[in-house]
């Protein structure tokens, strides 16, 4: 008989809007194999309900989502009891496992009484009535509210009021009329998020606004970098929006943060989804493209139905999911004759598109010429088609945020492909007779776009330097190599990344890339394996000759690679 598998894979708090709606609570991801998942979930529902009754949580809900060999099990909870909620959820799961596996304890009722007493004590210890009161009053006053383990805040930017979570004021002490909001945009998608955020900030700068941004590289207000690192999650959003100098904000929102905690904020001015591809599948029960589309669209919960949801009309997943929504949509597309764009314009909707190599914005029948694509440096005179998409998204976003055509065009024109302005995203280095492009493309979709870009640029020979983190599947790595082959490279430099082994053995990923490249028709003499991207860059520069084009895909040691390229220019 096949053994039943019931295991707890992950347990965490949900602090903002998420896959299950605009709720807070606790979620566990569980593995269920060789037993009916519906039966298991029904048992969990029963045990969670019984625990709710015994701890007097009568208003809280139980939600679930199935996926292959598992499920996500959610209980709702007030924001002042989320740690206790994780304990309650885990206890319900343990009771479920005991029942399914027929594990019986002679002291069951004594243990159950002790469990209830412990859970009640946890709830009582974590309760914070003032926190709940401020949250409710913020809602009543239509004021934005943020909270974390240490602080509670209302409002954004200069008027933001921040209080320690363990020393909150009484409601009567808060001047609600003094609290204001600022324009905030959320940007998510598989590729293009960081470039879009930075390009949008250039438009804000052209309009003389102090712009705050969060990306996978840093938090920045104006020209000041507050902190470096990956700040595409809720923590980075809170830090930026509480900064007194922030006048307008563009927040990069990554998939991981959406699934781990939910949206970091629950009120924004507009939302943009750049595209959705099969990337990072197999984590948190997201196993298909349709799952990923649903995940990215979580961000729409931060806006109301009248505010713009900006979507990619060239992305099939976005187009399909949009049919289920009643949001106000602002579409963008490479093509003026895109059927989605044409129908939307006929209905007096708003859209951004390219016609005769010029970007236009049209709303309610009013058509505005914005800028020629060759006047936007990051398009590389139209060769970087994916960056044209990013520009379209920013034009749509900028009009949605209230900027005028002149400031938009100025911001797009003054944003360069330099390592300083947009590090790791199509950075162009013109050297003695040849060119080098440094990019962060780390999935097959991003690399397909970069392969097409370097194919569009005239060159005598082409070289690609690439590697992959160890948590990619063999299939993902094979697709990545196939994407590189679209550029028909003359040389491939394969980099190890010891820091990103993530469970793989040293040399395992480079060997896979080498094997797949040979299968795609490359010859042994066209392939090199090096220990890291620094050595890879040095080898690439030794190989380069007049009129060559090098594409260096760098996801670690980026600053060192930049230094090498700048030293020898």
User: What CA–CA distance (Å, rounded) separates 152 from 145?
Assistant: 8
User: 462, 489 in Cβ contact below 8 A?
Assistant: yes
Distance of CA 223 to the CA centre of its chain: 23
User: 125, 166 in Cβ contact below 8 A?
Assistant: no
CB-count burial class (<10 Å; 0-12, 13-18, 19+) for 78: buried
CA distances from 458 to 11, 120, 353, 548 (A): 52, 70, 26, 9
What per-residue confidence (pLDDT) applies to 548?
A: 94
pLDDT, one tens digit per residue, over 136-190 is 999 999 999 999 999 999 999 999 999 999 999 999 999 999 999 999 999 999 8
Instruction: Match 């930075």 to its residue by tokens.
Output: 198
Whose CA is closest to 212, among 160, 181, 251, 186?
251
User: What CA–CA distance (Å, rounded) separates 410 from 255?
Assistant: 31
Whose CA is closest to 333, among 308, 320, 347, 316?
316
What per-residue confidence (pLDDT) applies to 232?
A: 87
What per-residue confidence (pLDDT) applies to 287?
A: 85
User: 552, 436 in Cβ contact below 8 A?
Assistant: yes
User: 95, 47 in Cβ contact below 8 A?
Assistant: yes
The more confident residue out of 502 and 544 is 544
Evaluate if residue 238 carries a pLDDT over 60.
Answer: yes
What per-residue confidence (pLDDT) applies to 271?
A: 97
Q: Which residues on adjacent β-strands are paired with residue 534?
A: none
User: What CA–CA distance (Å, rounded) separates 550 from 172?
Assistant: 63
pLDDT, one tens digit per residue, over 422-458 is 787 888 888 888 999 998 877 888 888 889 888 888 8
Q: How many helices (H) and strands (E) does the chain have?
A: 17, 24
DSSP string, 434-481: -EEEEE---SHHHHHHHHHHHHSS--S-EEEEE---TTS-HHHHHHHH
User: What CA–CA distance (Å, rounded) separates 57 from 299?
Assistant: 29
pLDDT, one tens digit per residue, over 380-396 is 888 888 899 999 999 99
The more confident residue out of 51 and 232 is 51
CA distances from 17 to 139, 259, 483 (A): 15, 10, 35
pLDDT, one tens digit per residue, over 294-333 is 999 999 999 999 999 999 999 999 999 999 999 999 999 9
Instruction: Tell whether the torsion through CA atoms of 400, 406, 407 and 410 is positive or negative.
Output: positive
Whose CA is closest to 439, among 426, 450, 457?
426
For strands 350-355 and 328-333, give the pairing.
Answer: parallel
| 52 contact partners, CB below 8 Å, separation of at least 6 | 58, 60, 75, 88
User: What CA–CA distance (Å, rounded) separates 263 from 181?
Assistant: 18
DSSP string, 303-345: S-TTSEEEEETT-HHHHHHHTT--SEEEEEES-TT-HHHHHHH
For residues 367-391, give the mean pLDDT: 93
What per-residue confidence (pLDDT) applies to 461?
A: 96
Degrees to nearest 5, angle at CA 216 with 558 and 71: 125
With both helix axes pointing from N to C terminus, report the angle between 193-206 and 385-400 in degrees, rounded to the nearest 10. Answer: 50
- pLDDT band of residue 50 (cuts 50, 70, 90) is very high
For residues 88-99, give the mean pLDDT: 96
What per-residue confidence (pLDDT) applies to 568?
A: 54
Whose CA is closest to 473, among 235, 281, 307, 187?
281
User: What CA–CA distance (Å, rounded) separates 162 from 147?
Assistant: 9
Degrees to nearest 5, angle at CA 278 with 277 and 280: 115
- pLDDT band of residue 281 (cuts 50, 70, 90) is confident
User: What CA–CA distance (Å, rounded) separates 550 from 520?
Assistant: 20
User: What CA–CA distance (Å, rounded) separates 171 from 129?
Assistant: 11
User: 354, 389 in Cβ contact below 8 A?
Assistant: no
The more confident residue out of 110 and 352 is 352
What per-residue confidence (pLDDT) applies to 104?
A: 85
Segment (H or E) for 501 = none
- pLDDT band of residue 419 (cuts 50, 70, 90) is confident
| 48 contact partners, CB below 8 Å, separation of at least 6 | 62, 73, 75, 88, 89, 92
What per-residue confidence (pLDDT) applies to 521?
A: 93
- pLDDT band of residue 284 (cuts 50, 70, 90) is confident
For residues 43-54, give the mean pLDDT: 96
Evaluate if residue 215 carries a pLDDT over 60.
Answer: yes
What per-residue confidence (pLDDT) applies to 556?
A: 80
User: 203, 408 in Cβ contact below 8 A?
Assistant: yes
Evaluate if residue 81 carries a pLDDT over 80.
Answer: yes
- Maximum CA extent, the chain: 81
For residues 96-107, give the mean pLDDT: 90
User: What CA–CA distance (Å, rounded) separates 44 from 75?
Assistant: 11
Here the tokens at position 537 are 């860059």
For residues 334-352, give the mean pLDDT: 96
Evaluate if residue 250 carries a pLDDT over 80.
Answer: yes
What per-residue confidence (pLDDT) applies to 569?
A: 53
Starting at the edge strand that comes first in sequence, how are the strands of the sheet with 145-147 ordered?
145-147, 151-154, 161-164
């Amino acid at each position: 008989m096949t053994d039943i598998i019931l295991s707890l894979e992950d347990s965490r708090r949900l602090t903002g809007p998420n896959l299950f709606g605009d709720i807070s609570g606790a979620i566990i991801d569980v593995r269920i194999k060789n037993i009916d998942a519906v039966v298991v979930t029904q048992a969990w529902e029963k045990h969670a309900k019984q625990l709710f009754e015994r701890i007097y949580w009568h208003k809280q809900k139980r939600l679930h989502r199935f996926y292959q060999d598992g499920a996500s099990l959610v209980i709702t909870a007030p924001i002042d009891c989320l740690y206790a909620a994780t304990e309650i959820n885990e206890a319900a799961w343990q009771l479920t496992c005991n029942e399914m596996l027929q594990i019986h304890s002679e002291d069951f009722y004594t243990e159950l009484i002790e469990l209830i007493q412990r859970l009640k004590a946890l709830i009582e210890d974590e309760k914070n009535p003032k926190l709940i009161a401020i949250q409710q009053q913020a809602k009543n006053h239509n004021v934005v509210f943020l909270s974390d383990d240490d602080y509670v805040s209302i409002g954004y930017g200069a008027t933001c009021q921040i209080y320690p979570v363990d020393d909150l004021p009484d409601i009567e002490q808060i001047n609600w009329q003094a609290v204001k909001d600022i324009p905030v945009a959320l940007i998510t998608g598989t590729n293009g998020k960081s470039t879009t955020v930075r390009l949008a900030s250039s438009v804000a700068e052209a309009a003389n606004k102090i712009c705050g941004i969060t990306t996978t590289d840093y938090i920045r207000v104006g020209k000041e970098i507050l902190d470096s690192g990956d700040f595409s999650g809720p923590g980075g959003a809170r830090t930026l929006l509480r900064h007194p100098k922030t006048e307008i904000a563009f927040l990069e929102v990554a998939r991981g943060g959406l699934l781990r905690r939910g949206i970091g904020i629950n009120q924004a001015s507009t939302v943009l989804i750049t595209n959705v591809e099969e990337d990072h599948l197999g984590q948190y029960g997201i196993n298909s493209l349709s799952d990923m589309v649903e995940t990215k669209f979580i961000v729409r919960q931060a806006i109301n139905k009248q505010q713009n949801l900006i979507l990619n009309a060239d992305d099939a997943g976005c187009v399909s999911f949009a049919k289920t929504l009643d949001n106000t949509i602002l579409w963008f597309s490479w093509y003026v004759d895109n059927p989605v764009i044409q129908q939307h314009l006929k209905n007096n909707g708003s859209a951004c598109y390219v016609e005769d190599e010029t970007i236009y914005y049209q709303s309610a029948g009013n058509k505005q010429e914005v800028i020629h694509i060759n006047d936007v440096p990051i398009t590389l005179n139209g060769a970087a088609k994916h960056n044209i998409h990013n520009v379209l998204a920013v034009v749509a976003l900028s009009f949605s945020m209230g900027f005028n055509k002149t400031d938009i065009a100025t911001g797009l024109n003054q944003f360069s492909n330099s390592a300083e302005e947009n590090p790791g995203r199509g950075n162009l280095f013109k050297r003695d007779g040849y060119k080098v492009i440094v990019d962060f493309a780390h999935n097959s979709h991003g690399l397909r776009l970069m392969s097409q870009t370097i194919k569009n640029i005239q060159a005598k020979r082409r070289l690609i330097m690439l590697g992959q983190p160890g948590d990619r599947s063999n299939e993902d790595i094979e697709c990545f190599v196939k994407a590189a082959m679209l550029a028909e490279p003359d040389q491939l430099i394969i980099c190890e990344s010891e820091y990103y082994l993530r469970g793989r053995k040293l040399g395992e990923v480079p060997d896979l890339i080498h094997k797949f490249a040979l299968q795609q028709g490359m010859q042994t003499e066209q392939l090199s394996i090096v220990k890291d991207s620094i050595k890879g860059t040095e080898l690439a520069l030794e190989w380069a000759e007049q009129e060559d084009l090098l594409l260096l895909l760098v996801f670690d040691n980026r600053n060192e690679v930049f230094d090498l390229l700048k030293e020898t220019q």
